[in-house]
Amino acid sequence: MKELIKKFKNRKIAVIGDLILDKYIYGEVERISPEAPVPIVRVLSEEYVPGGAANVAANISTLGGNPFLLGIVGNDQYKDILMQKTEELNIPTYGIFTDNNKTTIRKTRVIGLNQQLLRIDHENTDYIETHMEEKFINRLKEIEDLSAIIISDYAKGTISKQLILQLIQFSKENYISLIIDPKPKHKEWYAGSTLITPNKKEAQTMSGIIIESEEDIIKAGKILVNKFDSDVIITAGADGMYVFETGKRDKVQGVREKETSELTPRSAPPRRINLLNTIEGELKNSGRGVPLEKGEQKGVDQLTTSNSQLTINNLSISHIPTVAKEVYDVSGAGDTVVATLALALSCNATLNNAAILANHAAGIKVGKIGTKPVYLEELVKEVEQSP
């Protein structure tokens, strides 16, 4: 697994999406205001960090990759702060364009008592104009040896329908993986991408399935696979990740060298799940495509693999359990996941192994307060210490 992580070095990943400047105000809370029933925060420190698509690029950089960030900022003082913060993380800024009709998107979070007390957003969510879409595509075409493209869609106006169509076409023509961290508002635009990575709430909204159980997640995932004609990874917080793999990535990118067996990561112990009702009879009277443990009877009521994996009509479904950790802050965890996935897949990792690695990276991130990237050394240490 360490050998796989070492391959992250200098992988060129383009990140296009909504750039956000995150501001954190840290303070102490000792009393309630006499003016209103709200806490009074005595400010101790403040900091700015790259957020949104810029945080995705930050994670790629700190994990050893070579990010190319494309997005827009307003013509204001906050543009300069965001540019400075991205440059400090070795992220090139020549793909960042100024739009005089926009303000630089900002999220201000007030932290006290080791938790977020308030968030204030400054944004203009109008869609970008056509000439800005053309700038993005032209800049993208200038990047040589591009390994993958990430669309970081926060539904703040940078990602338009026409831009996504052009990115999908570009990725297919150049045999490059296109990974989308989605927003339900734009669900009709994502068909034809390589991989979609919704969280549980987003998967519920986009699929129309109310998710209350593992069976619901499986149903929702199958709907999304069919809707988008792509692989899907649903991130489910404390419940880990659910991977739905169609095999499309191999067909789109051509035959690529797969990981050797010695690079297969250690993972959580086997877990039994009952999926008889979930697959709605599709596996009745057939155990085909379902890997079984030695000595287990061929059947569909109890399906077991190292990560609860099964195959339904050429769709491979796996559950990757999370590693128990103390959660301090989940903000930015999705950015860390999609960045790690892109790096791993660009190194020809299997989707399942890329997801396991992203799961480790997310576990590191939620242990940090604020929008913070994960560093290569942290990920290596986490993998080495995993059971």
Report the catalytic residues.
335
**Strand pairing class (148-152; 115-122):** unpaired
Strands 105-112 and 115-122, sheet pairing: antiparallel
The span from the CA of 46 to the CA of 67, in Å, is 27
**353: enclosing H helix or E strand:** helix 351-365
Q: Which among 237, 346, 355 has a CA at the least distance from the CA of 307?
A: 355
CB 95 within 8 A of CB 69: yes
Q: Give the helix/strand (H/E) hosting 179.
A: strand 177-181
Measure the CA–CA gap between 295 and 289, rounded to whole angstroms: 17
Q: Which residue has the tokens 């593992």?
A: 214
Measured CA distances, 167 to 125, 154, 174, 356 (Å): 20, 17, 11, 27
CA distance 279 to 371: 38
- Closest residue by Cα to residue 236 from 318, 300, 302: 318
